[in-house]
Amino acid sequence: MNQPQNKSFPVSWDQFHRDSRALAWRLTSQGPFTAIVAITRGGLVPAAIIARELNIRVIESVSVKSYDHQNQGKITVLKSVNSDLLAADASGQKLLIIDDLVDTGATARAVRDMLPNAHFATVYAKPQGRELVDTFITEVSQDTWIFFPWDLDFTYAAPIAGGTD
């Protein structure tokens, strides 16, 4: 990552479900899609919600890793897209790629290279990667780290004004 992520944007399960549903609503005018390609692991949860809302039964995964905790490394493709879907994309079928967020855009670029005709959607977007995404719901600033509900646990929060309660 290019700049420190000194703000935080924690997302609850409720909020994530609502935002993913809002993304599904927005995607209704872009389909119908024959299949979803979820970018694991973060894209698996919104992909399940969107598949349910849009009645899509075929879900493929592509595994791309670029972060170790909050540090960006080089892009590694751990699992590519199966050849049937590569052929479907090349023949003009509408595929939908889903991820939880786009940050620098490195992951999105790698997956777009595999499926150049697919519609790319994320729940959240940061400015550096926004142009690589066709549809998203909420933008946060580049110096914000989004904390997803599957990475969080309930814990004590100090008062905003400082000190202890």
Ligand X SMILES: O=P(O)(O)OC[C@H]1O[C@H](OP(=O)(O)OP(=O)(O)O)[C@H](O)[C@@H]1O
> Residue 136 phi/psi, 5° resolution?
-145, 170
How many other β-carbons are positioned within 10 Å of the β-carbon of residue 141? 11
Cα–Cα separations (whole angstroms), residue 9 to 48, 66, 129, 149:
22, 20, 17, 11
| 165 a catalytic residue | no
Q: Is 151 exposed, middle or buried (0-12, 13-18, 19+ CB in 10 A)?
A: exposed
Is there a catalytic annotation at residue 19?
no
Residue 19 found at the interface with ligand XAN (CB under 6 A): no
CB 98 within 8 A of CB 121: yes
- Identify the residue among 5, 66, 80, 138 touching ligand X (CB under 6 A): 66
CB of 71 to ligand X, least distance (A): 10
Residue position matching structure tokens 């960006």: 72
What is the Cα Rg of the chain in Å?
Answer: 17
- CB of 11 closer than 8 Å to CB of 149: yes
89 labelled catalytic: no
Question: Least distance from C-beta 41 to Mg ion, angstroms?
Answer: 6
- What tokens were used for 134? 């066709």
Q: Interface with ligand X includes 46 (CB under 6 A)?
A: no
Residue from the set 17, 44, 58, 67 that interacts with ligand XAN by CB under 6 A: 67
110 lines the binding site for ligand XAN (CB under 6 A): no
Q: Figure out which of the listed residues 19, 60, 89, 103 binds ligand X, where binding follows CB under 6 A.
A: 103
Identify what 102 binds: Mg ion, ligand XAN, ligand X, none; CB under 5 to 8 Å per kind: ligand X
The neighbour count for residue 160, using CB atoms within 10 Å, is: 5
Give yes or no for residue 19 binding ligand X (CB under 6 A): no
Cite the annotated binding site for xanthine by residue number: 103, 146
Cite the annotated binding site by residue number: 41-42, 99-107, 145-146
Residues that bind ligand XAN (CB under 6 A): 67, 101, 103, 145-146, 148, 151
Residues that bind Mg ion (CB under 5 A): 42
